Structure 1
Amino acid sequence: MHEDGLKNFLGVTASISTILQFLTGALVCQKVVQNKSTGDQSALPFISGCLSTSLWLRYGFFIKDTSIILVNTIGAALFFAYVITFAIYSLRKSILFRQFAGCVIFLLSTLVYIQNIESPQIAQRHLGLICTMVTIFFFATPLVSLLHVLKVHSTESLPFPIIFSSFLVSAQWLIYGVLLGDPFIQIPNFLGCVLTGFQLSLFYCYSQNTKGYSSELI
């Protein structure tokens, strides 16, 4: 009974933390609107987030899980709004549009593929695997700026609020996945902890050279 109570508690707190994580993107977009430019920041984390939440939303409907449906409905709407904000202020709109179009094509192809699988069990397993891979990609997308970060010794191009909240959320879901014994929850969130933990270490290493976040990290 104690374990079931812990599972329910973690399920609720992880859902709340996930929604709060999604809202951190608003801090990044607020800075973009204030500067009237996206600067060196890429929209790819938001685009991949839009794709990830859309796939998990379909998975939620597939298994009829209200929490997954609610969390990812909110997430998909927020990430789409963030992408629109970046599209307005980005100087490299063609790159953003190509990335977004690629994600839309991937999403539609996945939905069609899953829909045509006759066995519900196989369809659920395949969709879960796809969601796992996309989630790992979502955690890793800020690494596209890694070479730039290492070159200029500054993490200004990395979205700290998103990375930090992703670390906390993935840690919660990892514990929840261990309690459930569900590898589809354990694997992506373990890797999420590793990837986001590495990115956070860069903020510590280059805190003196990063404007805006250095004072928060010291």
Structure 2
Amino acid sequence: MPYLATLLNCLVRALYGLPMVHPDSTLLVTISGIGIVVEIVFLTIFFVFCDRQQHRLVISAVLTVQAVFVATLAVLVLTLEHTIEQRTISVGIVSCVFNAMMYASPLSVMKMVIKTKSLEFMPFLLSVVGFINAGVWTIYGFVPFDPFLAIPNGIGCVFGLVQLILYGTYYKSTKGIMAERKKRLGYVGEVGLSIAIAQTELENIAYFNKRVNGV
């Protein structure tokens, strides 16, 4: 989900930065273009190594919808709106929405962190980079002021800060959970994410069975 949201955000941002939509946005177009390439690489890797055909079909469908949406938006804006100001506002509003959605995409992971009191599902480096990225773009959006950059990235700063607060809150409990899991599994060394997820699922199933059987 985060990769798809980021790809859509980069596509719309690239459209927003085009000279016929929002002039003097070379940096925005360049970075958005790089983002598109990076996300395509990530999704290609997923397609190569994913062993579930259903997941591939879902991703393919979402990518098709995204491509059609961005192409339709570009055609409508460039043909029906004849001034830079109109195009900037129209594409800016759309990009603002999708930019905020990109930053909100880890909400399900944050919910899982709070529920399990474990940070195993939320990479620290990714959270830090996301926070810094949002902060830099927020500053960029104020020089000169561009609400379609400043507002969604300001929201991204808030989401990034919340993730860092979660790290400070659950860091100790995560170490305890992982140590306990190592002890139960008899595992020596670091417990990988796949092992942690599998063990968590087994624990959830066991808890559900107890509730159903009234144990």
TM-score, normalised relative to structure 2: 0.68
Question: Which residue of the partner structure matches residue 53 of structure 1?
Answer: 10
Amino acid at match of 2:132: L
- CA–CA distance in structure 1, aligned partners of residues 59 and 125 of structure 2: 21
* Residues 71-128 of structure 1: CA deviation (Å, up to 9, x unaligned): 1111110111111222333444344334433433332332233233232221221101
Matched residue type, 1:101 = T
Letter in 1 for 2:81: E
Question: Is 2:45 the counterpart of 1:85?
Answer: yes
Deviation at 1:45, TM superposition (A): 1.0
Contact 1:114 1:126 in 2 (8 A): yes
Considering Cα pairs closer than 8 Å and 6+ residues apart, tell me whether 1 or 2 has the greater RCO: 1
Gaps of 5+ in 2: 179-189, 191-215
Q: Give secondary structure in 2 for the equivalent of 1:186.
A: helix
State percent identity of aligned pairs: 23
Write the distance in 1 (CA, Å) between the matches of 2:142 and 2:29. Answer: 22
Aligned: 1:103 with 2:66: yes
Q: How far apart in 2 are the matches of 1:107 and 1:161?
A: 30
Task: Report the counterpart of residue 167 of structure 2 in structure 1.
Answer: 203
Instruction: Determine if contact 1:48/1:138 at 8 Å carries over to the other structure.
Output: yes
Q: Are 2:115 and 1:155 aligned?
A: no
Please tell me the root mean square deviation across aligned C-alpha atoms, in Å.
2.3
Residue aligned with 1:188, SS: helix
C-alpha distance 166-99 of structure 1, shift in aligned 2 (>3 A): same
Residues 98 and 206 of structure 1: CA distance in aligned 2, closer, same or farther (over 3 Å): farther
Q: Which of structure 1's runs of 4+ aligned residues deviate more than 4 A?
A: none
Shift of residue 57, structure 1, vs aligned partner: 1.2
Q: 1:166 to 1:147 in 2, by over 3 A?
A: closer
Give the deviation of 1:141 after TM superposition.
Answer: 0.6
Q: Which runs of 5+ in 1 are unaligned?
A: 1-43, 213-218
Moved more, 165-174 or 148-157: 148-157
1:102 to 1:155, Cα distance in 2 relative to 1, 3 A: farther
Alpha carbons of structure 1 residues 65 and 177: separation in structure 2 relative to 1, 3 Å: closer
Counterpart CA distance in 2 for 1:125 and 1:176 is: 18
Aligned counterpart for 2:75 among listed residues 93, 112, 123: 112
Please say if 1:132 is aligned against 2:96.
yes
Number of residue pairs the alignment of both structures matches:
169
Report SS of the residue matched to 1:178.
Answer: coil
For the 8 Å contact 1:117–1:123, the answer to whether it is kept is: no
- Report how far residue 70 of structure 1 moved: 1.5
Question: Pairwise mapping of residues 148-187 of structure 1 onto structure 2 (< 5 A)?
Answer: 148-187=112-151
The alignment's TM-score, normalised by the length of structure 1, stands at 0.67
Per-residue CA shift, 1:12-36, capped at 9, x if unaligned?
xxxxxxxxxxxxxxxxxxxxxxxxx
* CA apart distance, 1:49: 1.1
Indicate conservation of the 8 Å contact 1:142/1:159, yes or no. Answer: no
2:27 aligned partner, one-letter code = S
Q: Indicate if the aligned counterparts of 1:164 and 1:200 stay in contact, CA closer than 8 A.
A: yes
